[in-house]
């Protein structure tokens, strides 16, 4: 009998990644991306919904100095909404992108990306198979006032305080507010890709379980195991930690509180991978021991090194991994795709000019600000 029960549990753990949540449904994409990365050619894994891709094609500059992003999204208006179920979320978007972020890559915008992971990162396939209380991308950090007080959530108090009133204000779930803030936080940072936005989450079923969020001191094996228990492949882990490039550390080393984790904290770019991989950290850049270990471990370094100076591949892989993360614990058939309300991505290629010394493309501050003024105008604070 014991052998039978063991077999059934093992079988459940194998089947659950396919059936349990939309993140499970994205797992084949990880395999396809792996094939693309290792000589398999194009995978066809580009059906990313109405959000399209943060492509790097050269489009015409229709507005003089204001770059044409070539993204049909522009600034979506509720008057042009195509899905009635998405209409209530346009003002939620505006309250987050404008009222909380001010249309820019602020500390609150960056914190919202971390918040989205801390919300979803307590999901466990093992707990699901055992039928035990589980985490999910359910907004429990906005629902349970005690959760943000846990040590692992230090630094998230301000973004939680800013978002907490919105579910009641707009009569939507805390999970929808929190995870919408996560994808908008990515977009608020120039270069951030346009990630599909799913809504329709119910209230959290329970408090998030303790002890499941990864630690910056975890070993590579521990990180790989924990992310696998969430349903992530190694490539997803390495793509997701690229978000550290727009982060500041405050609590790992209080003596260096506030230091950025790459040299371009206000841009959603791939400098994090280069800055973490080099032997010595650049000036005023703080590196997590776990990130450095992932850059050099035999199981993960190939993925890490591929993103160095390779924005297109990282964009593709990050978008897929973040989408997977933002729907942990749910089936897509239970949710509504409201990507139609997501504004355009600000593509860094189109706001860059050749450096006069190195000849390499670097972001031009004037072009970047012009793009921000054009594509974030409704949400910018005076």
Residue 140, marked binder: yes
For residue 264, report the phi and psi dihedrals to the nearest 5 degrees: -135, 65
| DSSP single-letter state for residue 96 | I
> Cβ contacts of residue 170 below 8 Å, gap of 6+?
88, 89, 91, 92, 95, 177
Residue 72, marked binder: no
Residue 262, marked binder: yes
Alpha-carbon gap, residue 289 to 111, rounded angstroms: 20
Alpha-carbon gap, residue 196 to 52, rounded angstroms: 9
Alpha-carbon gap, residue 343 to 335, rounded angstroms: 20
Residue 333, marked binder: no
Exposure pattern of 224-233 as b/e (b: 16+ CB <10 Å)?
A: bebbebbbbb
Residue 119, marked binder: yes
> Among the residues of the chain, which ranges form H helices?
2-19, 22-25, 27-37, 89-94, 107-120, 125-130, 140-143, 157-163, 166-170, 174-188, 220-230, 234-240, 271-277, 289-296, 301-306, 311-326, 365-375
For residue 119, report the phi and psi dihedrals to the nearest 5 degrees: -70, -50
Alpha-carbon gap, residue 109 to 374, rounded angstroms: 19
Burial class (CB in 10 A: 0-12, 13-18, 19+), 57: exposed
Alpha-carbon gap, residue 152 to 369, rounded angstroms: 35
What tokens appear for 88 in the block?
Answer: 């209530």
Decide: 52 and 71 in contact? Cβ < 8 Å. yes
Helix-strand-coil split of the chain, %, nearest 5: 50, 5, 45
Mark whether 283 is an active-site residue. no
Catalytic residue, candidates 118, 283, 296, 305: 118
Residue 43, marked binder: no
> Cβ contacts of residue 342 below 8 Å, gap of 6+?
51, 73, 76, 93, 183, 184, 187, 194, 195, 197
Residue 63, marked binder: no
Please give the annotated binding residues for heme b, written as ranges. 244
Please give the annotated binding residues for Ca(2+), written as ranges. 119, 138, 140, 262, 264, 269
Active site residues: 118
Please give the annotated binding residues, written as ranges. 119, 138, 140, 244, 262, 264, 269
């Amino acid at each position: 009998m014991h052998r039978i029960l063991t077999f059934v549990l093992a079988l459940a753990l194998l089947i659950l990644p396919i059936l349990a949540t939309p993140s499970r449904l994205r797992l084949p994409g990880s395999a396809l991306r792996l094939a693309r990365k290792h000589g398999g050619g194009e995978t066809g894994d580009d059906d990313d919904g109405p959000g399209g891709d943060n492509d790097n094609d050269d489009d015409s500059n229709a507005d003089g100095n204001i770059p044409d992003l070539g993204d049909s999204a522009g600034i979506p208006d509720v008057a042009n909404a195509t899905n009635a179920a998405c209409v209530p979320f346009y003002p939620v978007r505006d309250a987050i992108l404008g009222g909380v972020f001010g249309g820019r890559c602020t500390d609150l915008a960056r914190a919202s990306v971390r918040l989205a992971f801390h919300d979803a990162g307590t999901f466990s396939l093992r707990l699901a198979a055992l039928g035990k209380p589980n985490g999910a991308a359910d907004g429990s950090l906005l629902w349970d006032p005690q959760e943000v007080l846990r040590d692992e959530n230090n630094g998230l108090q301000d973004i939680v305080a800013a978002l907490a009133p919105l579910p009641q204000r707009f009569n939507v779930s805390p999970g929808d507010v929190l995870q919408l803030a996560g994808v908008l936080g990515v977009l608020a940072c120039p270069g951030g890709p346009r990630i599909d936005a799913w809504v329709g989450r119910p209230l959290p079923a329970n408090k998030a379980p303790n002890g499941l969020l990864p630690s910056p001191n975890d070993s590579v094996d521990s990180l790989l195991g924990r992310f696998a228990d969430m349903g992530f492949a190694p490539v997803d882990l390495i793509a997701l930690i690229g978000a550290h490039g727009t982060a500041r550390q405050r609590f790992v080393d209080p003596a260096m509180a506030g230091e950025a984790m790459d040299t371009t904290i206000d841009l959603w770019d791939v400098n994090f991978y280069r800055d973490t991989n080099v032997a010595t950290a650049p000036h005023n850049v703080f590196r997590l021991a776990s990130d450095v270990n992932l850059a050099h471990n035999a199981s993960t370094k190939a993925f890490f090194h591929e993103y160095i100076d390779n924005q297109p591949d990282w964009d593709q892989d990050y978008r897929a991994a973040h989408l997977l993360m933002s729907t942990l614990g749910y089936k897509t058939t239970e949710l509504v795709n409201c990507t139609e309300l997501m504004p355009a991505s600000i593509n860094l290629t189109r706001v860059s000019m050749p450096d006069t010394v190195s000849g390499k493309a670097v972001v031009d501050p004037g072009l970047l600000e012009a793009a921000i003024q054009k594509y974030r105008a409704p949400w910018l604070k005076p």
